[in-house]
Structure 1
Amino acid sequence: MKKEIFIDRPYITLGQLLKEESVIDSGGQAKWYLKEHVVNVNDEPDNRRGRKLYAGDHVEIPKVGLFFIRSKQGSK
């Protein structure tokens, strides 16, 4: 599954993305999830729940999907 994620702020963290996309149920599960599963940010493995994702970044979670971070039109 490919999906565009629109943000209205400068960035979203990897942990927030996991929660908002229902990959995990709560923010507290992010550390565990990232320790147990491969997550690629811009084609590089990353396990930091606080990793800042900016417009133009992409996140691949095997067996879940590919997420493209986009900025909402007209936002600052």
Structure 2
Amino acid sequence: MREVREVEIRDGMIRLGQLLKLAGVAEDGAHAKDLLEAGEVAVNGEVEHRRGRQIHPGDTIQAATTHLKVTTPTP
């Protein structure tokens, strides 16, 4: 079974490129761009190529062998 890491965001939205950096999947913006252009990132099961794609709590991201779920902090 694959492990899903939760990534908390404070605002209601984060851009995909920023999320990849925040989660440690990409070292920097250029690396995030390379991953996306290579088709190695999927959002909610759909391959995504846009770094600026808006990601919201509840979305799931798969990048290579890393699986992420976006959450918000619990009050």
Aligned to 1:42: 44
Identity %: 33
Of stretches 6-15 and 32-41 in structure 1, the one that deviates more from structure 2 is 32-41
Ranges in structure 2 where 5+ consecutive residues have no aligned partner: none
- Note the C-alpha offset of 1:71: 1.3
1:9 paired to 2:11: yes
Runs of 4+ with >4 A deviation? none
CA contact (8 A) 2:20 2:26 kept: yes
2:52 counterpart SS class:
coil
1:23 counterpart SS class:
coil
Q: Find the aligned partners of 1:30 and 1:66 in 2 and give their Cα distance.
A: 15
Q: Find the aligned partners of 1:27 and 1:62 in 2 and give their Cα distance.
A: 17
Aligned to 2:71: 70
Aligned to 1:56: 58
Ranges in structure 1 where 5+ consecutive residues have no aligned partner: none
Aligned to 2:22: 20
